[in-house]
Amino acid sequence: MTRTPQGAPPIVTLTDAAKHFGPVRALNGVSLSIAPGDCIGLVGHNGAGKSTLVNVINGGLAPSSGTVEFAPAGAQTALEAGIRSVFQELSLCPNLTVAENLRISHTGLRGFNWRKAARTEMAQALDTVFPGHGISTDAPVDTLSIAERQMVEIAIGFAPRGAQARLVILDEPTSSLDAGIARQLLDHIVRFCASGGAVVFISHMLGEIFDVATRIVVLKDGRVVEQRAAADFTRQGLVDAMGHVAPEQADAPAVRAHAHGAEVLRSPEGLNARAGEIVGLSGLAGHGQAEALARIYFGATSSWRTPRAAPMVFVAGDRTRDGVLPLWSILRNATISVLPQIARRGFVDRDREAGIMAEWKRRIGIRTDDVANPILSLSGGNQQKVLFARALAASAPIVVMDDPMRGVDVGTKQDVYAMIRDEAAGGRTFLWYSTETEEVCQCDRVFVFRDGAISAELTGADITEEKILEASFEMTEAGQ
């Protein structure tokens, strides 16, 4: 069955689709049609509406207005129309084996011998996408590595599952794969589209987008701002279309060439920091930076006792998992770390607590009428400011920051950068892991991580995007 991509009816058509969450317009009228043979690269900044768009296409969210139509007349759901999604967060059942996980998404597998059928189909699916993968279909998923789990998930996405996959949506599928495996996936996407399938491919690696996409759709503020054949874009043009905030004033780092104090920290992997220094951790996401920070923090503090003056404080980036105490007010969230310093015989000195809160509300600019309001009434950026206030209020000499600017608006960022420089000038040491190169370039010294180890230490004028990228990627891979 040879299908001609050109002129085939589209698999899914969105007409002026919008999705509002309360006052937030996550998707603001998007028209898009995806036909067999299309490989769409979907790009946009954080919060541009990518995941909302994906969820509208795969039927996970109903649009607030506009329509979503699936091609084969009669196909009511995205699933029936052969649309599958592979999400960024892992969605396998860890207690089941690889083959059993296929059973979950393949409702048609029935009968006495379904196990054998599942094993065969799963092995085939893995072999097709990732030849030489070495994953046993009988292995429980929780014994696999993260990369292997991601491979299984992608393979299930492309597996026939009783029908045929017609459109596969891949949301950052390569984030935990190494370059060789990622190459296999990209090759498979090209093959899949050539044989009449369609793919929506989301990635922050523009190189990958250019490798596979036939068409690139640029989202900004919930709208499609550009939609052209991939060949018509240049990298710079694409970045400009996304509205990349150009690094404004190039904070001359030379200004900060003041002398640092004695070494206050040294970790087994070779990370070290001096008093008053801002030390950056960089490299690709998930290469061991967060783990290194957690080890340093847990090593310096105890689960059993808290001294009056904490030796180290932590600013979380993953607010829900690591930072916010969701039932509490802004006040209580901000002061939890400083309490041991202001307690009198175990009792909280509430006047001093309120005083500290008022001071930091002013200094860091938390926008609220009343610090007794629940923390969750604040926007993400303001919640993050509260977490900064929590850490900075406790006058610990070392501040550990785990990608703390996620989902923070530009204005807030500038405020916080200034505050960090102030505090560092006052002698505090900062360990700052960031996924954004622009932030890392604010540091005095940068350690670049690759595969859980430090691959480079950059100082002064060497801290540039190119040098960091060089150290982040394994250069020998180019030959593969």
Provide the binding-site residues for other proteins, judged by CB under 8 A: 60, 77, 79, 91-96, 100-101, 103-105, 107, 109-110, 114-115, 136, 139-140, 143, 297-298, 301-306, 310, 313-314, 316, 321-328, 332, 336-337, 339-340, 343, 346-348, 350, 390, 394
Q: Among residues 277 and 353, whose Cβ is nearest to other proteins? A: 353
Q: 96 or 285, CB closer to other proteins?
A: 96
Minimum CB separation of residue 382 from other proteins in Å reads 17
- Least distance in angstroms from the C-beta of 160 to other proteins: 15
Cβ 103 vs Cβ 47: under 8 Å: no
Smallest distance, Å, CB 301 to other proteins? Answer: 6
Q: In what order do the strands lie in the sheet with 24-34?
A: 24-34, 12-21, 65-70
* Shortest reach from residue 431's CB to other proteins, in Å: 14
- 114-129 and 146-158 helices cross at what angle (nearest 10)? 100
Distance in angstroms (rounded) separating the CA atoms of residues 77 and 416: 46
Residue placing its CB nearer to other proteins in the complex, 18 or 401: 401
- Closest CA relative to residue 131, chosen from 147, 155, 153: 155
Q: What are phi and psi of 168, to 5 degrees?
A: -115, 125
Output 335 or 442, the one with its CB closest to other proteins.
335
Minimum distance, C-beta of residue 109 to other proteins, in the bound complex (Å): 6
CB of 292 to other proteins, least distance (A): 15
Asked if 18 and 42 touch (Cβ cutoff 8 Å), the reply is no
Question: What is the nearest approach in angstroms of other proteins to the Cβ of residue 138?
Answer: 8
Is residue 137 within 8 Å of residue 99, measured between CB atoms?
yes
Nearer to other proteins, 111 or 207 (CB): 111
Number of neighbours of residue 25 by Cβ within 10 angstroms? 17
Q: How far apart are CA 153 and CA 135, in angstroms?
A: 12
Backbone φ, ψ for residue 227 (5° rounding): -155, 105
CA dihedral (446, 175, 470, 291) in degrees, to 10, reads 30
- Closest contact distance (angstroms) between CB of 406 and other proteins is 15
Which is closer to other proteins, CB of 217 or CB of 394? 394
Q: Closest distance between other proteins and the C-beta of residue 405, in Å? A: 17
Q: Where are the beta strands (DSSP E) in 139-209?
A: 167-171, 198-202
Token pair 């699933």 in the structure block, residue: 79
CB nearer other proteins, residue 313 or residue 458: 313
Give residue for tokens 């189909």: 121
Residues 6+ apart with CB under 8 A from 300: 311, 312, 398
Q: Determine the longest span between alpha carbons in the chain, in angstroms.
A: 80
Closest-CA residue to 401 (of 315, 287, 295): 315
User: Residue 71: which residues within 8 A CB-CB, separation 6 or more?
Assistant: 9, 10, 11, 12, 13, 81
For other proteins, give the closer residue by CB, 326 or 460.
326
| Smallest separation (angstroms) from other proteins to the CB of 299 | 13
Q: At what angle do helices 380-393 and 350-364 cross, to 10 degrees?
A: 120
Nearest residue (CB) to other proteins, 65 versus 302:
302
CB of 142 to other proteins, least distance (A): 8
CB of 110 to other proteins, least distance (A): 6
Which CB atom, from 325 or from 425, has the smaller least distance to other proteins? 325
Tell me whether residue 162 or residue 460 sits nearer to other proteins (CB atom).
162
Going by their DSSP bridges, the two strands 223-229 and 263-266 should be labelled as unpaired
Please count the helices (runs of H) and the strands (runs of E) in the chain: 15, 19
Q: What are phi and psi of 271, to 5 degrees?
A: -75, 135
Which residue, 179 or 327, has its beta carbon nearer to other proteins? 327
Residues 302, 115: Cα–Cα separation, whole Å: 48
